[in-house]
């Protein structure tokens, strides 16, 4: 997880080093605000905004705004960038949400506070079902 004021360079390093496709962006209470994903990098590249960016001088929040301005429909499903579920949701409910077009992952949050508890992707579900 990262805070919105973390640098874009920190986000890119974490994506690469942790070999993940997204990073939850949280407030000081670890409550979900947004998510920064590899598709956000693509949105910046399409608009060539990356040519004007110094990775350690721009925050994740600013980078997300640039990407959303470049492609207003980027990664939206039902008007939301972040798809969530609860730890108590059934596997069936999680699979239904992951089956929606454009939904690649669900952020697991605590009911009420939206405190991030984890991330589950379609590949996580497949690995579980296949016993890998």
User: Considering the chain, what is the average pLDDT of its residues?
Assistant: 85
Strands 116-121 and 105-109, by their bridges, are antiparallel
**CA separation for the pair 61, 67 (Å, rounded):** 10
The neighbouring-strand residues paired with 118 are 108
Confidence of residue 45 (pLDDT cuts 50, 70, 90): confident
pLDDT band, very low/low/confident/very high, at 80 (cuts 50, 70, 90): low
Q: Given this model, what pLDDT does residue 4 score?
A: 95
Residue with structure tokens 């890998």?
132
Q: What is the pTM of this model?
A: 0.81
Mean pLDDT value of segment 72-89:
70
3: pLDDT strictly greater than 90: yes
**Residue 23, CA distances (Å) to 2, 36, 51, 54, 105 in order:** 7, 5, 23, 20, 11
d(CA 115, CA 67): 25
Angle at 96 between CA 72 and CA 79, to 5 degrees: 20
């Amino acid at each position: 997880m990262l805070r919105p004021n973390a640098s874009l360079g920190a986000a890119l390093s974490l994506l690469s080093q942790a070999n993940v496709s997204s990073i939850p962006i949280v407030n000081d209470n670890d409550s979900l605000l947004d998510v920064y994903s590899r598709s956000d990098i693509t949105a910046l590249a399409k608009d060539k905004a990356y040519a004007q960016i110094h990775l350690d001088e721009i925050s994740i929040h600013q980078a997300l705004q640039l990407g959303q301005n470049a492609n207003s429909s980027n990664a939206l499903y039902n008007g939301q960038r972040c798809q969530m579920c609860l730890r108590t949701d059934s596997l069936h409910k999680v699979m239904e949400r992951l089956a929606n077009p454009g939904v690649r992952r669900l952020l697991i949050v605590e009911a009420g506070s939206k405190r991030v508890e984890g991330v589950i992707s379609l590949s996580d579900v497949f690995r579980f079902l296949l016993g890998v």
